[in-house]
Chain A
């Protein structure tokens, strides 16, 4: 880390990391209590990627997210309360209860939507980038996807188009080492970043557990995109502490030792806090204050969601077609 940062910026990152983790921990708890219906995929362990990437973006830049997308939505500007409301299936949620965990979209913060299809957002983000280029509005588009999406053909098609048209897009791969229940290496040939290089896209592998490394890599990619120099491919190495979904409890496809290696030594929040305290000279009390505020925000968000109304049953037929 050679760059210097404003204290307020660093604390904003810290706040967002805590917000994503705190949100996800409550999702786990509320799901256990059956207050959140259906399916949800938490991103605990991966927080540095959404927070670091979105810190390099403007509010009107575009993102597409994934089934493990709560962190992307929050880091791109979604409110905790309306996020919870959506997960509860309430009318005050971002999608009026029609999308749920896997489909949160928010036009106000450039979030084109999370996606239940692995790789489903990649070509949409590419279209948004083409749109930005044609409309000359200087926006950048980021497509988040996991290592699972590396093996979807749509990634190849999208990278090719992004490269030939020189589009302002960042392909942001969150390599959390597992595609659902299967180790990434078992199903993924070759060197990941070479997939971008094959299309003449500048490609780098980044420590996805280090929020500043993520931010810096993304900032460089954003700069290229805004200068009209086209797409980038960022491969973030990260780790999913919990299972694929709520039903994946035993995680028999990996060892507890491997898990604790990442959790104990590479945790993105612990390590960033250490960095703040030791390198950036930020006081423990500053961090503590933020922890308290985040906890309160999350508590209030859950309360908001619990008190919010369910959609009117008649709303089931609204929004099938736009007017």
Chain B
């Protein structure tokens, strides 16, 4: 990624807000709906100022009806609009599953191309906020499993802005996961007039290395980068890849890196079993097996409901020490 023109430092919240406003400005078909998004400006103030700028016909507060508003989004998308539906926490995606899995994902295919569903679902993932088991999950694997849906998870302000713009312009249903613990993270972005987008299926090589590849998503990218820094101090050269989108997935970068380093750890905040980490590990195993010096390791969230008490919750999320430890185990073998 080019950084020379990135002159402003903003948070992920601001980056997402800018992407929404710029796309709503660019295309009057873009409409945002969700619970508490307009008057309250979102529970994390992501939609700060949007109502003032665009008025109540472009941003609508909805009832607390996740299934209904997602279905409404599908209907809007099939009839000429480009809705963004905010689902406040991805734990509530469970309520939207018919609209997403049976309707949005399949409409283009089932209709033989008759209809498109240019719908974006923005939702919040991630543990660490002491929000307990129903407001802390990372359910990206649920939707990444379904053909017809696209899934994106940004980890920086630059990516969040460029990826959300891509998602809004895409003619398919996209589930866009924002990590609540990352919202205040700052990063450099270009001036507003400098237009950029980030395509689907392009991972970002965050750090080059030779000894091991750390593949990570969303907030786990920061964990991987911190781990790589520590490992570097101990003479271990770790490569870090931010996947950025799950479907489509950047197989090429994964396989190339695995062939180079011969060892991989995949880190994602979803539950480890049957999760994103397993899928990515399989891609690497299938395409780079003979170049590997050890089995690809998965590091997902502990397979327990996310507990409330900090001493319990903190154990469930992959952390820097854990990544360093697993890396050393792999290198020792």
Contact = CB atoms under 8 A, between A and B. Distances in A.
Interface of A: 62, 64, 93-99, 103, 105-107, 112-113, 115-117, 120, 122-132, 134-135, 141, 153-154, 157-158, 160-161, 164-165, 318-323
Contacts of B68: 123, 126, 154, 157-158, 160-161
B100 to A, nearest CB: 12
Which of B70, B71, B83 has the most C-beta atoms of chain A within 10 angstroms of its own C-beta?
Answer: B71
Given A95-B111, A103-B111, A105-B115, 14 more contacts: A98-B112, A113-B111, A124-B72, A124-B74, A126-B71, A127-B78, A132-B79, A134-B57, A135-B81, A157-B63, A161-B65, A165-B60, A321-B108, A322-B118
Contacts of B111: 94-95, 98-99, 103, 105, 107, 113, 319
A205 B19 CA distance: 48
A115 B68 CA distance: 16
B231 to A, nearest CB: 38
A116 B77 CA distance: 20
A92 to B, nearest CB: 10
Contacts of B60: 165
A321 B110 contact: no
The list of the 5 closest CB pairs from A to B, nearest first, reads: A127-B75, A123-B71, A157-B68, A96-B112, A127-B72
Given A124-B78, A127-B79, A128-B79, A154 B113 contact: no
B109 A98 contact: yes
B114 A106 contact: yes
A231 to B, nearest CB: 13
A256 to B, nearest CB: 36
Contact of B99 (A98, A116, A123, A153): A123
A153 B77 CA distance: 22
Interface string B129-150: 0000000000000000001101
A98 B109 CA distance: 7
Contact of A319 (B31, B67, B74, B113): B113
Nearest to A133: B57
B197 interface: no
A120 B70 CA distance: 12
A115 B102 CA distance: 9
Contacts of B62: 161
A123 to B, nearest CB: 2
B103 interface: yes
Interface string B63-94: 10101111111111111110100000000000
Given A123-B74, A157-B65, A318 B79 contact: no
A322 B108 contact: yes
Nearest to B104: A124
A107 B114 contact: yes
Contact of A128 (B57, B76, B98): B76
A161 B150 CA distance: 27
B115 A112 contact: yes
Contact of A112 (B75, B150, B172): B75
B71 A153 contact: no
A323 to B, nearest CB: 7
Nearest to B58: A134
B112 A97 contact: yes
A263 to B, nearest CB: 34
B47 interface: no
Which of A62, A117, A135, A157 has the most C-beta atoms of chain B within 10 angstroms of its own C-beta?
Answer: A157
A133 to B, nearest CB: 9
Contact of B71 (A62, A131, A154): A154
Contacts of A98: 109-112
A126 B72 contact: yes
Given A113-B115, A120-B98, A103 B148 contact: no
Contacts of B114: 94-95, 105-107
A64 B71 CA distance: 12
Nearest to A167: B72
Which of B60, B109, B118 has the most C-beta atoms of chain A within 10 angstroms of its own C-beta?
Answer: B109
Nearest to B74: A124
